[in-house]
Amino acid sequence: MKFLKGMVSLALLASMSFAAEYVIKFSHVVSPNTPKGKAADYFAKRVEELSHGRIKVEVYPNAQLGKDKVILRKMKFNTVQMAAPSFSKFTGLVPQLGLFDLPFLFKNEDHLHRVLDGKVGQKLLDMVTKKGYVALAYWDNGFKQLTDSKRPLIKPSDCKGLKFRVMSSKVLIEQFKALGAIPVVLPFSEVYSALQQGVVDGQENTISNIYTKKFYEVQRYMTMSNHGYLGYMVVMSKKFWNKLPADLKAVVKQAIKDATAKERVWAKELNNDQLNKIKEYAKKTGKLEIDYLTPEQRAVWEKKLRSIYPKFYNTIGKDLIEEVIKEGE
């Protein structure tokens, strides 16, 4: 009995000595098998490694801790320490981040990365930091595609009268209004059931989100429009950051740097692989039609959707928009 008691207290002592000094709850709303999900898991591993267990990172996927907007509020109180919401989710806080929601703004990934890694990217990170977060990095997802349950979307007027789920972003609301459609703001965690029950007819998202959340199973059509971009800003609670000693701040920065480099590769790979899986499903079941736009057809969408830019000259900034366009020339 005495021996057993001794063993128990030894085990207790051991677990106490290995207990992390700091715990980071990292919340996100997507599946683990997405660019953001994989990068969050990798970041957790890397931080624990580099800090020799002094920091433990618990990753909560699939909106287990709540939707992004709620999480951003919780981070102010340090009840959640990290998240990587999409840019759209920050636009209530920093309207300039609506920049990334502007349709047809980025020519390709190179153009986007030049902006993120350059002066504009830094300026926007600083704006979020000024709002009481520590903005650490940009993580990729990819370009968005349109899906719906009613008809093929080949020209902008095909969207007329259809209800589309959007993230909470004024730019995205205007985008669908310009198409004569009805935008409906919903959190990501409610999109599948809204599509399934016909609360909305369609939505826009990246392949990785369409695949991992099975939106394609409750939609009839998908148009490869690549009309807008979806990416993330990785943020940390300022209260938590201020408590970290300098050596552990350096660990977090290094782990973010490593995770960010990997995330860019995963974003490309996963969106490609998962598109193939959706194509296989379409072929096998005949339940999904995938439509591709000709360059001429795409130009019509581009003209229509770029017409909303002037509406955002005041909130996002005409100069900022023009600077980004110039970066792509």
- Report which of 168, 186, 165, 187 is spatially closest to residue 66, judged by C-alpha positions: 187
Q: Give the containing element (helix H, strand E) for 125.
A: helix 119-130
In whole angstroms, the minimum distance from the beta carbon of 34 to ligand LMR comes to 7
Of 50 and 224, nearer to ligand LMR (C-beta) is 224
In whole angstroms, the minimum distance from the beta carbon of 167 to ligand LMR comes to 5
Bridge partners, residue 182, by sequence = 163
The single-letter DSSP state of residue 200 is: S
Q: Which two tokens stand for residue 273?
A: 């692989």
In whole angstroms, the minimum distance from the beta carbon of 212 to ligand LMR comes to 10
Of 229 and 309, nearer to ligand LMR (C-beta) is 229
In whole angstroms, the minimum distance from the beta carbon of 89 to ligand LMR comes to 6
Of 140 and 158, nearer to ligand LMR (C-beta) is 140
What order of strands is seen across the sheet that includes strand 221-224?
A: 182-185, 163-166, 202-205, 145-148, 221-224, 289-292
In whole angstroms, the minimum distance from the beta carbon of 188 to ligand LMR comes to 3
The single-letter DSSP state of residue 86 is: B
In whole angstroms, the minimum distance from the beta carbon of 138 to ligand LMR comes to 13
User: Taking every pair of C-alpha atoms in the chain, what is the biggest distance, in angstroms?
Assistant: 83
Q: Which two tokens stand for residue 236?
A: 């940390």
Of 29 and 288, nearer to ligand LMR (C-beta) is 29
- Report which of 270, 149, 130 is spatially closest to residue 211, judged by C-alpha positions: 270
In whole angstroms, the minimum distance from the beta carbon of 172 to ligand LMR comes to 10
**Contact (Cβ atoms closer than 8 angstroms) between residue 57 and residue 24:** yes
Of 29 and 57, nearer to ligand LMR (C-beta) is 29
d(CA 293, CA 86): 26
Of 222 and 251, nearer to ligand LMR (C-beta) is 222
Of 36 and 46, nearer to ligand LMR (C-beta) is 36
Strands (E) located in the chain: 22-27, 55-60, 82-83, 133-143, 145-148, 163-166, 182-185, 202-205, 221-224, 229-237, 289-292
Of 104 and 188, nearer to ligand LMR (C-beta) is 188
Which residue ranges make up the site for ligand LMR (CB under 6 A)? 29-30, 86, 141, 167, 188, 205, 209
- Report which of 84, 110, 139 is spatially closest to residue 263, judged by C-alpha positions: 139
- Report which of 63, 26, 60, 74 is spatially closest to residue 187, judged by C-alpha positions: 63
In whole angstroms, the minimum distance from the beta carbon of 65 to ligand LMR comes to 13
d(CA 303, CA 256): 38
